Structure 1
Amino acid sequence: MRHLLLTCLALALPGLARAEEAAAWDPSRTHVLVASIIEWPDAGLAPFKDPRRDEGLVAQFRAAGVPAGQIVFLKDREATLAAIRRELKAVAARAGEGSTLIFYFQGHGLRHKERTWLACYDVKVGDPATAFEVAEIFPILDGGWKGERLVLIGDCCHSGALGAVVDRFDGHPRVRAAAFTSATASNTSTVRWTFTEALITALAGDGRVDGDRDGVITFGEVDAFVRSEMKYREGQLTRARLSERFGEAFILRRVAADRPAPARVAGGRQVGDFLEAMDREGKWYVAEVLAVDGEKVRVHYLGWDAKWDEWVTAEKLRPIVRAKHAVGTLCEVEWKKDRWFLARIMKAEGDWFYYVHYEGEEGDDDEWVMADRIRPAPAGKKPVPPEFVARAPRASGKGDAVAARWRREWHLAEVTAVDAGVHSVRYADGDTGALSAVDLIPVDEAGEIRVGDRVLACWGGKTRMYPAVVEGKTAGGCRVKWEDGTPATEVPFGQIARIR
């Protein structure tokens, strides 16, 4: 797992001198909290070995004009759960109206079900109460911070969960919120510092980030640059999340005079483009364009030392092409190295990333994968059929009550969405899942149930459903005889699904 570089950048400025110009970040009114950890006492968390870049990010904030007295840096053993909570509240209280607040966390990101935690220095793996939950951010800032712009930045596994905090601020009369993340909420992240390095590049005013070459670097351009860096260098999907009032045109800074944007090349490949290039041995590799000189292009092969950089001609260049897969396709996905599982493609991001649901699972492991982790399902291979099937099958839609399979159990649930044949459900106990139609049995109306019907029914007021036979009906439910020999009990209507 990779560090969650959670950065609450609350960037605020009334605007530039000319009304027609977009608002811009004012470093002098910025308050920063950095909590960064690369090793933990708990042996269950692997340390990060690469040279750390968090110090470089802090230095870049200072170079950008953030006063040193407005930066708090909790490093490694200083970044305990108590310290993170205390300092986030303190920084929020010090940052006044219209301020910029930056909360940066670097460490492991942990996730279970739909909850995400930041692994502080003193975390104990397996005990969520010892970690800092992402959901804590909103109440802390909503109650104690009077600033205007908020940006969360996460460089870690499951960092996309920060988007949920942005969503809570959407529509807020004062706060404009946004988030940068290295990965989606469902995905792990690289152990390298690629994401942080991209942010440092942007904060330094590197002209490569200025996509439209107008001399200023906007939030939208930083997002595009980071997204490209993570896509090609790490094979990770990332995208910024922003509230409606934030605006992609928000200006981070002007391009630095000593780091101008590369000149545009008419009708050809541009510096910074990613493509495939053939090396001297005739092998194709993903590469970055470093320079263009007429018909020749100088490339850097990703993952290789700079000593292999070379000039190549047009016939040794080609676009990056990946296999395309249709949404709804049943396939096999490599979940871990050489461990392939049956899955269904639920969404696609171009022809590069695919969101998959592992068949027969509750949805905790659903994730975005690249095409190279997908292969056709073997002929005739189908999901393991459920133990029970509906007596009167019918399609389930949003809002329908169902008996939903969870591994080898069945639980009362409600369908919350249907997308490409995948049903999102919320179980009666509050958990969520993503299931195929065969994993659902509709809950029947009172008038549909007859004495003698075989059913799945909730037992003892719980949400789990067991097989039984209807012995009789009352005004409020059915008396059922449980197939495991448990004495008959009454089950209310709304908790009974007929099966064969």
Structure 2
Amino acid sequence: MDDNKDGFYANYDVKTNDNAISTKKIASKLKNKFHGSTALFFADCCTSGSIGNALSKQPAAFTWGMATSVNPEGSSTGNWTFSQALLDALNGHKFVDTNFDGVISFSDLQKYVTLEMKRIDNQVAGTNSGNGFSDASYALAKVSDPNEPIPRLVEVKWGGRWWKAKVLETKDNQAKIRWVQIGYDTAGDDEWHPFSEVRETSGAPFNGMAAATTRNDFKVGDSVEVLWKGDFYKAKILKAESGRFYIHYIDDDDSWDEWVDLSRMK
């Protein structure tokens, strides 16, 4: 952001006068030059969510939807998690289809991006829309494989450290995993690891739960079960924000209410 609180599509060595793209200028150009009916905005860089603010301040005739790696004032990870999530959506992966209707909508993408950025990079994604754009009805792709398993986010021990990865399948007390770190996140880098080297993101031991049992469609008001110290307890979702859920344990008082992520829910 500059001194006027205007945002930019900013790279790692950004200088606003030389190599940054002003989102205010983008919005102005589109307002005067764009003759289409709908525009979609995607960006994986610092302050990328500022395009939504700029478009809202300069109303135009077209409808628009936005999904970005970070909110208007935030810095963005160099892990390219957002770009991978966008590709997952455009390729029709089942795990992006948050309402399981067989279609990847813009709303599905926004929810999936929010979840991925929070749980992998602890970053708040940017989502916005304007002029009557229907997030839920705008289709990006059809689900390409209805039987595709939903990868389960875990941590895997390698080189003395725990790294985030996704379980693709399990067999004979081993998990086939794909790393989420840039440069190691392709099929050619997939590895098999024994369950002893895999744990839930909460730190709990990995029990070999099949990848396909992981859900990402929880919402406020749902009754769920939450993992705590090795056992599951009945709970209810009170709030949802950026891929995390504030829950109340049914058999306990309010002092036990807490924020949890998908790795502890079913």
**Which TM-score band applies after superposition, normalised by the shorter structure?**
0.5 to 0.7
1:183 touches 1:236 (CA, 8 Å); kept in 2?
Answer: yes
Equivalent in the alignment of 1:345: none
From 142, 146, 154, the counterpart of 1:275: 154
Distance 2:16 2:158 in 1: 50
Equivalent in the alignment of 2:193: 310
1:286 touches 1:320 (CA, 8 Å); kept in 2?
Answer: no
Distance 2:52 2:134 in 1: 15
Q: Please say if 1:211 is aligned against 2:98.
A: yes
TM-score (normalizing by structure 2): 0.59
1:285 deviates by: 4.1
- Post-superposition CA distance 1:195-225 (Å, at most 9, x none): 2232223222233322333221111111222
Moved more, 130-139 or 159-168: 130-139
Equivalent in the alignment of 1:112: 2
Structure scoring higher RCO (CA < 8 A, sep ≥ 6) equals 2
From 128, 148, 159, the counterpart of 1:262: 148
Distance 1:124 1:157 in 2: 9
In structure 2, relative to structure 1, the CA distance for the partners of 1:244 and 1:320 (3 Å cut) is: farther
Identity of aligned residues (%): 25
Distance 2:29 2:201 in 1: 47
1:252 deviates by: 1.1
Aligned residues: 200
- Post-superposition CA distance 1:372-399 (Å, at most 9, x none): xxxxxxxxxxxxxxxxxxxxxxxxxxxx
1:205 touches 1:254 (CA, 8 Å); kept in 2?
Answer: yes
TM-score (normalizing by structure 1): 0.34
1:164 deviates by: 0.7
Q: Please say if 1:154 is aligned against 2:43.
A: yes
Moved more, 153-162 or 285-294: 285-294
- Post-superposition CA distance 1:440-481 (Å, at most 9, x none): xxxxxxxxxxxxxxxxxxxxxxxxxxxxxxxxxxxxxxxxxx
SS in 2 for 1:159: coil
- Post-superposition CA distance 1:214-267 (Å, at most 9, x none): 2211111112222333333333221311126212212112123xx44524xxxx
In structure 2, relative to structure 1, the CA distance for the partners of 1:164 and 1:294 (3 Å cut) is: farther
SS in 2 for 1:112: coil
Q: Please say if 1:286 is aligned against 2:160.
A: no
Q: Which has the larger radius of gyration?
A: 1
In structure 2, relative to structure 1, the CA distance for the partners of 1:218 and 1:118 (3 Å cut) is: closer
Distance 1:280 1:124 in 2: 34
Equivalent in the alignment of 1:181: 68
Distance 2:15 2:42 in 1: 23
Equivalent in the alignment of 2:213: none
1:166 touches 1:241 (CA, 8 Å); kept in 2?
Answer: no
1:152 deviates by: 1.6
Distance 2:242 2:87 in 1: 28
SS in 1 for 2:7: strand
Distance 2:96 2:242 in 1: 22
- Post-superposition CA distance 1:125-166 (Å, at most 9, x none): 4636x7542111222222232322122211111111112134
In structure 2, relative to structure 1, the CA distance for the partners of 1:319 and 1:148 (3 Å cut) is: same
In structure 2, relative to structure 1, the CA distance for the partners of 1:261 and 1:157 (3 Å cut) is: farther
In structure 2, relative to structure 1, the CA distance for the partners of 1:309 and 1:175 (3 Å cut) is: same
SS in 2 for 1:115: coil
In structure 2, relative to structure 1, the CA distance for the partners of 1:297 and 1:224 (3 Å cut) is: farther
Q: Please say if 1:127 is aligned against 2:17.
A: yes
Which amino acid in the other structure matches residue 133 of structure 1? S
Distance 1:209 1:232 in 2: 15
